[in-house]
Amino acid sequence: MAGLLPRCSFDAFFRQSISSLRLAARPRRYLSISADASSSSSAGPNPKPYRKVAATPLRRTAAASLPIRSNPTPTRSNIQAVFTLATAERYLFSRLRGRLPAASQLLHEAFWVPRWRDGEVFVFENGSVVCWGLGEEDARQFAQEVIGGTGVEVGHLKEAETEELDFVMDPTETTRLQGDLIILGDSPSLSSPDSFPSSVPQSALPTETLPARYAFSQALSRSTALSALEVALDDYLSSVAALPNSLETTGKPGLGREALIKKLGRLMKFRQGLNLNRENFLETPDFYWAEPELEAYFKSLSNALEVKIRTTSVNDKITYAAEVQSILRQLLTESTAHRMELVIIALITVEVIVALIRDGPELWHIIIS
């Protein structure tokens, strides 16, 4: 047919597109590092062991945190973990409220649990929890006991996504992100007194740095939720990776029209989750417009975790995948049209044969006469 793509050019395009798509985003677990063995011996009575991590922006700048890690001071606390866990596409806050401890409060876009065991927890609507002063085991237990199995989760993840950093408290320092270490220090006054409650329940951590912890937590929750999307997109791209081979060996995509439409719908769902939901990965929350100091904390960690770059990359992969799916759908449409033409030709042929059988003798008699 005139509109049908040449087989060789289509295969070449499809292979090239899938090759680029298979560079799918991997889950990024930003684990902090400790000082080396020689310096960790002086970092306190319970130095944290060295942990190897993959090459990430935070890993590349981790050396910047070594002066803090290896030089303890009387005003500086022990280094503790801030652990982030994403278990679902989103949480239903209306159902979650009754499951949380009585002292929990809603702070802007998160429920704040002031004390759970030896730490505190922020629960965000994007399906992630950020635990300060708790390790992975405690964080998973919180998610299981408080959130899991209660109808709170929408789109439960088969495997939870995690990210981990370290933090230290020192009132003589400036609150900031240094390398891969969050430093909770002096707390600048908020621009708006109504940004946070004036009276809050007793927390496992100092209330003076609560706004800073909230800002850092929101950046971490976005990164972990984005990791879940990256993994889901990676699985999707793997599911369509066999299509070029099917075209090459059989000349057919190996998927029916309904299956292709379902895959296009899944791509649309990815893009909706990335750009159109309330938790948009590219925009700064409105709350920070009135709080420039907190916005600086939020953006510093978001930039270190490359949230915008990763979001753009995922969007590009979705666009490429949609283009490939669109071409496949066009190929199926043209193949269907070709089959319809053959059916019409066959029907016309049958009709001519029937007419000849029925009216043939009469026509022959007329011709002879």
| Mean pLDDT computed over every residue of the chain | 79
By the 10 Å C-beta count (0-12 exposed, 13-18 middle, 19+ buried), 148 is classed as: middle
Q: Does a structural domain hold residue 225?
A: no
Angle at 48 between CA 47 and CA 53, to 5 degrees: 150
Max avg pLDDT among 62-66, 191-195, 222-226: 222-226
Q: Is residue 288 part of a domain?
A: no
364: pLDDT strictly greater than 80: no
With cut-offs at 50, 70 and 90, classify the pLDDT of residue 336.
Answer: low
pLDDT category at 132 given cuts 50, 70, 90 is very high
User: pLDDT > 90: what percent of the chain?
Assistant: 29
In a domain, 135, yes or no: yes
Number of domains in the chain: 1
Task: Print the domain residue range for 131.
Answer: 37-204
Residue 51 has pLDDT above 80, yes or no: no
The pLDDT score that the predictor gives to residue 283 is 83
- Rounded to 5 degrees, what are φ and ψ at 232? -65, -40
- Model confidence band, residue 338 (pLDDT cutoffs 50, 70, 90): low
Is a pLDDT exceeding 60 seen at residue 55? Answer: no
Measured between alpha carbons, how far is residue 27 from residues 148, 232, 302, 336 in Å?
22, 10, 16, 40
Q: How far is CA 75 from the centre of its chain?
A: 38
Q: Is residue 62 part of a domain?
A: yes
User: Stretch 100-113: mean pLDDT, rounded?
Assistant: 92
307 is a domain residue = no
Write the DSSP symbol of residue 127: T
Q: Is residue 349 included in any domain, yes or no?
A: no
At residue 171, φ and ψ (nearest 5 deg) are: -65, -15
Q: Note the pLDDT tens digit of each residue in 165-220.
A: 999 999 999 999 998 899 999 877 888 877 888 788 888 899 999 999 999 999 99
Q: Residue 185 domain-assigned?
A: yes
Confidence band of 335 (pLDDT split at 50, 70, 90): low
Q: Is 191 contained in some domain?
A: yes
Residue 24 has pLDDT above 50, yes or no: no
Nearest to 118 by CA among 141, 143, 135: 135
